Structure 1
């Protein structure tokens, strides 16, 4: 699909549509939606901003490319004066006091926020069922999960309720729902986009990224959000990715992890389609190499060891003292306990308990420090791989989307559904889901800070698969 951003921009400039009418149309779709993708509408703000865009056009003023473009925001980002609930009971009435850097950059560019989108509570899940707003339904088949944790964001893009959405990816939370709903979803290089104003899940792998229906729209949004931020010391300087730079692929060699494909856990159809995609790539003269990597169960256990430890630490501040739904107990300690016990979901409590265990005396050396050591080995493995290949191709998931309700019965199965995404998160690498190649798409990964190459190869695949 061609760029929706550019198409709408041209329609606005040519006065074929008004921004107000466009925003009203999208808001109406969001109000009527039956996919549980909406936590709250930003209708008053959106219509105010739309009127300003229309006034500029009427006065003959030039508008920017993103000016007047409607977008959605996963409900873990601060937007001043709006509800930011993280789909949780604890924060269901919390209003942001400030705006996240990435969102502010989009607002500065004139993009119009329409909606805070449903997600797994605090990003804890791979299906967007762990939410007080009801399970997000898949855009392709409403009986299936929308994917997680950025499920509402993916579904809204897939159904054209938003032109693009901003999700959050810690271990696959943009890429997996993008694959489930047949759209593009990018986890940029860690640090390329500021995390300031994103509710932290696991700070060492949290990434801000876009979901959209075209590679060009991903590129446009990424450029606007990227850059160093004095409020986030992990951010890095990045160069703009031009439209010309991603039109022609310079990739000569790709790799794939043989153990991913040979795993007993992979669905037979996904395996067959992935291997067929590899053959089509070979037919275009690109060299393909089989690579050795850590077993998927090691990746999953390492990721969840570190992620649970970090989320236990990050969520320790949520005790009802400064914000959130406080429940009074018999004394202060009892108030903390009952507030957290009653307001956190079962999945969030599971991750906090697991995280506190691996950080506790007697376990931290045995488990947590070993997890850090394995992450270093994973990074070293990637460095060696990218000396041999330009990009790595992999399935996004080992299996197809489960039916709504199934993941809640089997948390371990939900964790294992992240088997092909978490390794790239631990490596802090740029990774893009493309809606081709298998029923849940393909994942393209490049070396750190090589986001441009990922988009290049995605354009190449779009034409051959």
Structure 2
């Protein structure tokens, strides 16, 4: 699909549409909340901003490429004055006191936030069912899950309710729902975009990620959000990626894929056959394809969840109802803390906190947590060696297709395993993009650290190849 951002920008400049009319149109699509993708609408502020854009155009002033473009925000980002609930009971009445850096950069560029989007509570889930606002429905088949945790963001883009949305990816939370809803979803290199103002799940793998319907729109949004931020010491300065730079993929000579992903008993037979067919089409274009050895997917999942649960137990320890949140009083302070957390956290969040505290507890941390850290280092080293042999790694996004709503809640273990092909790249802190081609749930393109440009290049190449 062509860039919606470019198309709408030109229509605004040519006065074929008004910004206020555009925002009204998107709000009218969001208001019925047919897919449970909406937590709250930012109607008043959005329309005020739209009127300012229309006034600039009427006065003959130049507007920026993103100016007046409506977008959605996963409800784990701070946006000053808006409800930021994390789709949780604990924070259902919490209003942000400030705005996340990534979101502020988009607003400064003129983009207009119109909706806070439904997601798994605190990002804990792979189906967007662990939410007080009701399960998000898949954009293609409403009986199926939307994926998670950024399910609402992916659905809103897929249904054209937003031009793009900003999700959050810890272990696949942008890429997996993008695959389930046939849109593009990027997890950039860790540190390329500031995490300041994103509610922390697992700080060592949390990434801000755009979801859109074209590679070009992903590029535009990525450029605006990228850059060093004094409020996030993990960030770094990165070069802007130009449209011309990703239009030619001649420097990509070798593609690799993990044969144990494809030979796994867990992979759906159709996803396997479609993936291998895509590999053959890539070979036909003269690109060398190599089979790579990697950690078994169950090791990747267990390593990721060991570390992610430990980090979430630590990060969520601050949420006890004392400073913010839905406090429940009991007979003493300790009991108040206990009942506040017990009643207000979802079952999945409690499961992850309990698991994380177990991992970090005396007698277990050496045996489990430190082993997890060592495995993460080994995984990262494995990737470094792989990228000495290949330019790109291609993989399925998920081993299976979206389950029916309700099934994942009955089987949390199966939900964790749906992340089998995404979590490894998170542990490696690598740039990875889901594209809506190749299999029913898309393909995943990965490059070495800081090579986000290469990922977008190969995505453009695959548009005309498979």
Task: Report the TM-score, using the length of structure 2 for normalisation.
Answer: 1.00
1:270-419 to 2 correspondence within 5 Å?
A: 270-419=271-420
Q: Which residue of 1 aligns with 2:441?
A: 440
Query: Can you list the C-alpha shifts for 1:243-263, whole angstroms capped at 9, x where unaligned?
Result: 000001121000000000000
Q: Which residue of 2 aligns with 1:35?
A: 35
Q: Whole-Å Cα distance in 2 between the matches of residues 159 and 301 of structure 1?
A: 34
1:65-464 to 2 correspondence within 5 Å?
A: 65-249=65-249, 250-464=251-465
1:436 is paired with a residue whose SS is: coil
Query: Can you list the C-alpha shifts for 1:402-459, whole angstroms capped at 9, x where unaligned?
Result: 0000000000000000000000000000000000000000000000000000000000
Query: Can you list the C-alpha shifts for 1:363-386, whole angstroms capped at 9, x where unaligned?
Result: 000000000000000000000000
- The Cα shift of 1:33 comes to 3.0
Q: Whole-Å Cα distance in 1 between the matches of residues 336 and 143 of structure 2?
A: 39
Q: Whole-Å Cα distance in 2 between the matches of residues 160 and 34 of structure 1?
A: 13
1:464 is paired with a residue whose SS is: coil
Q: Whole-Å Cα distance in 2 between the matches of residues 77 and 308 of structure 1?
A: 20
Q: Whole-Å Cα distance in 2 between the matches of residues 36 and 226 of structure 1?
A: 30
2:7 is paired with a residue whose SS is: helix
2:201 is paired with a residue whose SS is: coil
1:44-59 to 2 correspondence within 5 Å?
A: 44-59=44-59
Q: Which residue of 1 aligns with 2:64?
A: 64
- The Cα shift of 1:32 comes to 1.7
Q: Whole-Å Cα distance in 2 between the matches of residues 122 and 138 of structure 1?
A: 20
Q: Whole-Å Cα distance in 2 between the matches of residues 240 and 209 of structure 1?
A: 16
Q: Whole-Å Cα distance in 2 between the matches of residues 36 and 44 of structure 1?
A: 21
Q: Whole-Å Cα distance in 2 between the matches of residues 318 and 110 of structure 1?
A: 33
Q: Whole-Å Cα distance in 1 between the matches of residues 336 and 51 of structure 2?
A: 47
Query: Can you list the C-alpha shifts for 1:89-126, whole angstroms capped at 9, x where unaligned?
Result: 00000000000000000000000000000000000000
Q: Whole-Å Cα distance in 2 between the matches of residues 251 and 217 of structure 1?
A: 22
Q: Whole-Å Cα distance in 1 between the matches of residues 207 and 293 of structure 2?
A: 26
Query: Can you list the C-alpha shifts for 1:64-97, whole angstroms capped at 9, x where unaligned?
Result: 0000000000000000000000000000000000
Q: Whole-Å Cα distance in 1 between the matches of residues 387 and 375 of structure 2?
A: 19
Q: Whole-Å Cα distance in 2 between the matches of residues 100 and 107 of structure 1?
A: 10
2:49 is paired with a residue whose SS is: helix
Unmatched tracts of structure 1, length 5 or more: none
Q: Whole-Å Cα distance in 2 between the matches of residues 139 and 252 of structure 1?
A: 36
Q: Whole-Å Cα distance in 2 between the matches of residues 34 and 143 of structure 1?
A: 12
1:238 is paired with a residue whose SS is: coil
Q: Whole-Å Cα distance in 2 between the matches of residues 254 and 25 of structure 1?
A: 42
Q: Whole-Å Cα distance in 2 between the matches of residues 9 and 32 of structure 1?
A: 27
Q: Whole-Å Cα distance in 2 between the matches of residues 277 and 342 of structure 1?
A: 48
Q: Aligned pair count? A: 465
Query: Can you list the C-alpha shifts for 1:161-204, whole angstroms capped at 9, x where unaligned?
Result: 00000000000000000000000000000000000000000000
1:4-23 to 2 correspondence within 5 Å?
A: 4-23=4-23
Q: Whole-Å Cα distance in 2 between the matches of residues 209 and 64 of structure 1?
A: 22
Q: Whole-Å Cα distance in 1 between the matches of residues 299 and 457 of structure 2?
A: 31
Task: Report the TM-score, using the length of structure 1 for normalisation.
Answer: 1.00
Q: Whole-Å Cα distance in 2 between the matches of residues 144 and 332 of structure 1?
A: 42
2:127 is paired with a residue whose SS is: coil
2:401 is paired with a residue whose SS is: coil
Q: Whole-Å Cα distance in 2 between the matches of residues 162 and 377 of structure 1?
A: 40
Unmatched tracts of structure 2, length 5 or more: none
Query: Can you list the C-alpha shifts for 1:214-245, whole angstroms capped at 9, x where unaligned?
Result: 00000000000000000000001100000000
Q: Whole-Å Cα distance in 2 between the matches of residues 148 and 26 of structure 1?
A: 23
